Structure 1
Amino acid sequence: MAAPDLLFNLRNNFYLGAYQAAINNSEIPNVSPDEAVERDCLVYRSYIALGSNQLVISEIDASAATPLQAVKLLALYLSASENKETTISSLKEWLADPAIGNIPTLRLVAGVIFMHEQDYSEALKHTNAGGTMELHALNVQIYLKMYRSEHAEKQLRLMQQIDEDHTLTQLANAWLNLAVGGSKIQEAYLIFQDFSEKYPMTGLILNGKAVCCMHMGNFDEAESLLLEALNKDAKDAETLSNLVVCCLHLNKPTGRYLSQLKGTHPEHMFVKRLATAEESFERAVQSVA
């Protein structure tokens, strides 16, 4: 008989965006040394997801295991724009080291960082071999960002062969359905609906349902889901950017949400694209004036 998976609930909380619950319920007795490292990685990644990068940087010292050092590297990368080159340089050195370069957490962090950099081919160089469900799920995300849904689907099939009911398999299925669109949107909605019935509601689940609603033209329902998500976390970038889009469709003012998004997440893709569009518009106006 297989031993019980002591970290199942902790992982699940993290995957579904219940970061504070992951932190609060991380005191798990009788874990092995390897499980303790994985537990600590999940806890610190939850802190990063909540924006507490400095806590992670200060608590993980030089004696910590390599997976934890990789998580610290992610916190360093996300905490300061001027140090990004140094952090990426350190990351590349570690990845080139045959003793540690293949550690799954390090490859996962590399995938996340290079995806942030929009260097998708570099990200895939380190994630494509898979090895964990998280790496497969990250591959799905990277391929969808590259508009290569056929490759994302291959990764999803691999995940389904490993564990069809795994939370990450279900999430990856929903992401792919959203990307494909059409009749698949309803299937994506049902996956998020199933999560909302099984687990406490999180911003990730609410945003998932809201995006499905917007695709289906149900903007009123989407707005109420997004406002519920905003009550849970007033600074969440996805909630704020989705609210801007939703309000545009409802002919409602977007200024407040947009200001919050620019103030708290100036590097967000939505903010950057908007700035580019505004610059293009200004140039067009000048050329006509």
Structure 2
Amino acid sequence: MAAPDHLFNLRNHFYLGAFQSAINNSDIPNLPQEDAVERDCLVYRSYIALGSYQLVVNEIDDSAATPLQAVKLLALYLSNPENKESTISSLKEWLADPAIGNNSTLRLIAGIIFMHEEDYNEALKHTNAGGTMELHALNVQIFLKMHRSDYAERQLRVMQQTDEDHTLTQLASAWLNLAVGGSKIQEAYLIFQDLSEKYPMTGLILNGKAVCCMHMGNFDEAETLLLEALNKDAKDPETLANLIVCSLHLGKSSSRYLSQLKLSYPHHILVKRATSAEENFERAIQSVA
């Protein structure tokens, strides 16, 4: 008989974006050492997702296990944009070390960091071999960023063969359906709907449903879902970005959401695009003035 999975609920909280719930419900007694390290990784990654980078940097010391050191590296990378080069340099050193380079958490963090850098080939170098459901799910995301839904679909099939009902398999399926579009949007919506009936509603699920609604032209329903997500986390960048798009389609002002996004996430792709458009507009005005 398979051993009970003590971390099942904790992982699910994390995958679905219920980060505070993951932290609050992480006190699981008598865990084997390997499970305890995975538990701590999930808790610290939840703190990172909530923006508490410094707490993670302060609490993980140099004697911690490799997976925790990798999580600390992610916190350092996200907390200090000026210091990205030295963080990436440390990451590359660790990946080249035969003793730890193949650690699945280290490869996962490498994939996340290189995906942030938009260096998708470098990310895939470390994630493509898979080995865990999270690595497969990250591969799906990377391939979709590269507009290679064919490769993303292959990864999803591997996940479905491993565990069709796994939360990450469901999420990856929804992401792929959204990317493919057309009649697949309805299927993506039903996956998010199913998750919202099984688990507590999170910003991630609400955003998923809202994006499906926008694809189907239901902008009023999308706005309702996004405002509910904003109530859960007023600074969530995806909620703010989706509200900007939704407001434009509804003919409403999006300036407040854009201002919030600029303040909290100045490097967000939507902020970069808006700034670039403003600069181009200014240049155009100057050229005819």
- Name the SS of the counterpart of 1:147 in structure 2: coil
Q: Look up the match of 2:267.
A: 267
- TM-score, normalised to structure 2, is 0.99
Q: Give per-residue Cα distances to partners, 1:227-259, cap 9 Å, x unaligned.
A: 000000000000000000000000011111110
Structure 2 match to 1:49: 49
Pairwise CA RMSD: 0.7
Aligned pairs for 1:154-165 within 5 A: 154-165=154-165
Match of 2:119 in 1: 119
What number of residue pairs does the alignment pair up? 289
Higher mean alpha-carbon deviation, 278-287 vs 54-63, is at 278-287
User: Is residue 2:40 matched to residue 1:40?
Assistant: yes
CA distance in 1 between counterparts of 2:170 and 2:38 reads 22
Partner letter of residue 82 of structure 1?
E
Paired residue for 2:58? 58
After superposition, what is the alpha-carbon deviation per residue over 1:186-232, rounded to whole angstroms, capped at 9, x for unaligned?
A: 00000000010000000000000000000000000000000000000
Which stretch has the larger CA shift, 139-148 or 264-273? 264-273
**Which letter maps to 1:187?**
E
Aligned pairs for 1:1-289 (under 5 A) are: 1-289=1-289
Give the CA deviation at 1:59: 0.2
Cα offset, 1:46, TM superposition: 0.1
Rounded Cα–Cα distance in structure 1 between residues aligned with 2:115 and 2:241: 19
Identity in percent: 82
Q: 2:282 and 2:151 mapped to 1: Cα distance?
A: 38
Gaps of 5+ in 2: none
Distance 2:130 2:281 in 1: 43
Q: Secondary structure at the match of 1:99?
A: coil
**1:32 alignment partner AA:** P
The TM-score, its normalising length taken from structure 1, stands at: 0.99
Secondary structure of 1:222's counterpart equals helix
Give how far 1:276 is off: 1.8
Distance 1:236 1:179 in 2: 22
Give the letter for the 2:161 counterpart.
Q
Deviations 1:172-197 (A, max 9, x none): 00000000000000000000000100
Task: State the 1:284 CA deviation.
Answer: 2.8
